Structure 1
Amino acid sequence: MKKILPVCAIVLFLFACKKDNSVGISLNGSWEYRGTTCYCAPPTDSSAYKPGNGTVYSFSATNYKYYLKHVLKKSGTYKLFKENVNGAERNRIIFDNDYNSEAKYIGLTGNKFSLGGAIGSAADAPVDYYEKE
């Protein structure tokens, strides 16, 4: 009994000190594409970013579907967690448990959702913008 008590105390301490990496935001719902910020050519089809364009991310609590022009292109699971990037805390999204894929970070302000690379500036990585449907 005397040996078990210290071991239990250490285990309890380790679990109590676990850092909270949960994001605390919800992407639930459908988000339609509205444009990209980057040093790239603008789309030749101006309807690509207008309402009704059909390029949509649809999220539930743990699953997503991605539609391109109303056609389902990909679906699976996703996870959100906080990550430190160059001294700033960012919200990272992982699709389909692929932790080795290029890092993608999200922003959520009101009914607007952004999805982009690590730095998040147009010079470094494109950032796609979506609006809640």
Structure 2
Amino acid sequence: MTQLIVGGVILPQTSNDKYQCYPEELATTVDMISGRRVKEIRGTVQMISWSYDYMGDELWRELQAVLRSGTSFQVAYLPDDGEELRTGIFLTASLTPPTFGFSVNGKALWHNVAFTLREVKPHD
């Protein structure tokens, strides 16, 4: 089952609580001089958290080029309220740098690949 395609890079299915896709409020909070706090809710965006224990060097290089691009990219994702992939435009909210695990046949295997994505445009 495909859970996630990031910028055209098809990622392997992950399990054991390592894939989350959920709606979250996109809001701005402002502290007023009077001491009040005002929260402006702009809408709801999808958040995606994904991690994988060991990833081959070739796949990691493709994925990191998208995640570290500094621009938005298209994502196909499995939502928590459906069975079919949806698409949207996302940004990298966080990226945990993986570590070099070991090599197999002279190719690196990267350990603890993890990131969080945030949908760019809010919706109702």
Look at both structures and tell me which one has the larger radius of gyration over its CA atoms.
1
Bin of the TM-score, shorter chain as denominator length? under 0.3
TM-score after normalising by structure 2: 0.23
Higher strand share: 2
- Higher RCO (CA 8 Å, separation ≥ 6 residues): 2
TM-score of the two chains, using structure 1 as the length reference: 0.22
